[in-house]
Structure 1
Amino acid sequence: MPEPVMMPMDMARDPTEWILLYDPDCGFCRWSLGWVLAADRGRRLRPLRLGSPEADELLADLTPEERMASWHLVAPDGRRWSAGYAAPPLLRLLPAGRAPAAALAAAPEITDRVYRWVADHRSKFSKLIPEQGKRRADERIAARR
């Protein structure tokens, strides 16, 4: 697994907060994020829309296309993971997530390929999610901003 990118942390931040950057125009992405936030009982995650000024600053080393191609997880100390490589550290933050995180971390390239396949087909997955599910996810996301 590649080492996480270390971001310059000259921005004032909560030292316990993890930032999860997501595509606000993707219904599947919002729905998935809603489930992650529901599982985050410790409230350690803060969702952040890709394309916002703060997101652009956190992802300044990436092209706009790279920013929008996947989700990104930024640790309180500035480490950043993207796409499938973000799944293990994210799961470690959630209750009962350590075992799945270990399994995914054992096969990082496969995890990333599966993530990228899902990301490439997210518009199809979005169509399968009922509007009510997307609305519920949007409410969870709004409550965490």
Structure 2
Amino acid sequence: MPAVTVPGRSRGRPYPVELLYDRDCGFCVWCARWLARLDRHGRVTATPLQTRGAPERFGVSVDEALEQAWALDADGRRHAGAGAIDAALSALLGTRIPLRVYRIPGIRQLQDALYRLVARNRHRLPGRGGSCAVG
């Protein structure tokens, strides 16, 4: 399976983001490919956590990386779970609005709960297979 990467973190591009995902999870791979198809400006780089040194670059353990998605933005800020998805959407759209909405009281809790629900059921979602099939 080819790596799912799009040029990221290059100078002159607004708000690039690197997203850490599990290439052994069919749903994660499906989502990374979906992001790559939508990313016409090359603002998101999807990096498999199985890439040598990737978890360390994100400042997380392999276990933490397996628990939820992680994102690093151009300012070096780390985002986890729903926040990582919002960071990727912000980069994709070229605006920080998704991250600003995430910070609204109540919205963060709602998005985090939805993220956990999706994560628990990822083996039933598009891209089934891989290690998530045992979910």
Q: Structure 1 residues 32 and 97 mapped into 2: Cα distance closer, same or farther (>3 Å)?
A: farther
Q: Structure 1 residues 78 and 100 mapped into 2: Cα distance closer, same or farther (>3 Å)?
A: closer
1:51-90 maps to which residues of 2 (within 5 A)? 51-60=50-59, 62-90=60-88
1:34-45 maps to which residues of 2 (within 5 A)? 34-45=33-44
Secondary structure (helix, strand or coil) at the match of 2:20 reads strand
Structure with larger RCO (C-alpha < 8 A, sep 6+): 1
Q: TM-score, normalised to structure 1's length?
A: 0.66
Aligned to 1:120: 120
Q: TM-score, normalised to structure 2's length?
A: 0.70
Unaligned runs of 5+ in 1: 1-12, 132-145
Q: Which has the higher helix share?
A: 1
Percent same amino acid at aligned positions?
29
Unaligned runs of 5+ in 2: 1-8, 130-135
CA offsets, 1:38-91, max 9 Å, x none? 11111011111113223122234x332211111111112321101012232222
Residue correspondences, number:
116
Residue 101 of structure 1 and its aligned partner are, at CA, apart by: 5.3
Secondary structure (helix, strand or coil) at the match of 1:19 reads strand
Give the residue type in structure 1 aligned to 2:109: E
Output the aligned Cα RMSD: 2.7
